[in-house]
Amino acid sequence: MSVLVYTENWDGKFKKLSFELVSYATAVAKMINTSVTAVSIGKVDNEELVKLGSYGADKIINVIGENLNILDNQAYTTVLAGISKSENASVIVISNNNTGKAIAPRLSVHLKAGVGSGVSRLPLSLNPFTVYKRAYSGNAYAHVVIKSDIRILTLAQNSFDLAESKVTPVIVDLNPTLDPVKTVVKDVQKQSGKKLLTDADIVVSGGRGMKSADNWAPLVELAGLLDGATACSRPVSDEGWRPHEEHTGQTGKIIAPNLYIAVGISGATQHLAGISSSKYIVAINSDKDAPIFEAAQYGIVGDAMKVLPKLVDAVKELKK
Ligand SMILES: Cc1cc2nc3c(=O)[nH]c(=O)nc-3n(C[C@H](O)[C@H](O)[C@H](O)COP(=O)(O)OP(=O)(O)OC[C@H]3O[C@@H](n4cnc5c(N)ncnc54)[C@H](O)[C@@H]3O)c2cc1C
């Protein structure tokens, strides 16, 4: 029996997300008194792979193959299903990001395994196997009992602290023979020069209270100074003030940064659905009764046009 964790790499490098997943898998393995096997798919060098040992991976399966350098959900699922069986995995940990959401249900069918999606804490009990997750846009929580022998858990990003536990991992290379792929990715165009919203630790987001597309400069400047990303509410992207890829919420991106600064955003439930897992929410709003203040830990009641330039100056001063 083991805990299997699928770690994602980007161009051969692991990001914090993967270390979080291994930290979580290690903690689950401790609960059930077993070991952790991490799976990495695509070209990653050994120096990078051993980093997974720093978070508790006892064994790392380095899966390589011509068709595996670009994410192919079907091929990746086949690989993970095969390894789950050979490693006798009883728990499989995957991220709750877009990749995880594509792989987990497929894997669930392959392995007849129940899925606890978007879990944010360690299992509440092992018998029955019960996990905790937020529900209804963070307005409630659910205890989900998984009755299958294999359990797949998709972990909400930023919900589990990194935990170092120095292990010298065994690295095993695997070059599986796969059926010919059904879909071929011909071209991948990556966004460059801009911090990805889903990767950012800090997000500065604007709503209709920003009044017009012309007023975004101080918000973008603040995000840049904080090494963060920019986001917006849905009406803002509907108006064309900001690109659609920045829209967060029920119908947009779901993010969980350490800090979410909501500027001129009222805090509608559909917006909160995308950001309520943020560690800290700071709201800037001219209406002291705006619902966003109920979700926020810190708030500034004031005109965004006056508050933002002051924040920009304050951060510049701090960085001197
Ligand atoms: C099915 C459905 C799905 C939806 N999905 C989403 C979604 O994914 N994401 C999303 O965001 N919305 C979504 N919505 C829309 C959502 O209901 C709200 O209408 C929207 O979030 C409001 O956006 P807002 O807060 O920017 O604007 P508003 O609600 O208009 O709020 C603007 C805020 O700015 C404040 N303000 C005004 N002037 C200033 C100033 N000078 N300085 C500071 N503050 C100021 C106001 O007090 C107000 O609180 C959805 C709606 C539906 C029906």
Give the residue whose CA is nearest to atom 30 of ligand 1.
208
pLDDT score at 187: 81
| Atom of ligand 1 minimally distant from the CA of 233 | 11
Q: Using a cut of 0.95, tell me whether the model's pTM lies above it.
A: no
pLDDT score at 193: 67
Give the residue whose CA is nearest to atom 4 of ligand 1.
270
pLDDT score at 69: 82
300 C-alpha vs ligand 1 centroid, how far in Å?
17
pLDDT score at 287: 98
| Atom of ligand 1 minimally distant from the CA of 284 | 43
159 C-alpha vs ligand 1 centroid, how far in Å?
26
Print pLDDT tens along the chain (320 aa).
Answer: 899 999 999 889 998 899 999 999 999 999 999 999 999 999 999 999 999 999 999 999 999 998 788 888 999 999 999 999 999 999 999 999 889 999 999 999 999 999 999 999 999 999 999 999 988 777 789 999 999 999 999 998 888 989 998 889 999 999 998 887 777 778 877 776 678 888 889 999 999 999 999 999 999 999 999 999 999 999 999 999 999 999 999 999 888 899 999 999 999 999 999 998 898 999 999 999 999 999 999 999 999 999 999 999 999 999 98
Residues with CB under 6 A from ligand 1: 207-209, 233-236, 247, 249-252, 264-266, 268, 270-271, 274, 284-287, 290, 303-305
Read off the tokens for 320. 């001197």
pLDDT score at 40: 97
Which of 285, 288, 310 is the pocket-test mutation for ligand 1 (most atoms within 8 Å of CB)? 285
Contact present, 100 and 94 (Cβ < 8 Å): yes
Q: Give residue 61's Cα distance to chain centre.
A: 22
319 C-alpha vs ligand 1 centroid, how far in Å?
32
Give the residue whose CA is nearest to atom 6 of ligand 1.
270
Amino acid at 7: T
| Atom of ligand 1 minimally distant from the CA of 303 | 42
Give the residue whose CA is nearest to atom 29 of ligand 1.
266
Q: Give residue 144's Cα distance to chain centre.
A: 20
CA distance 13 to 204: 26
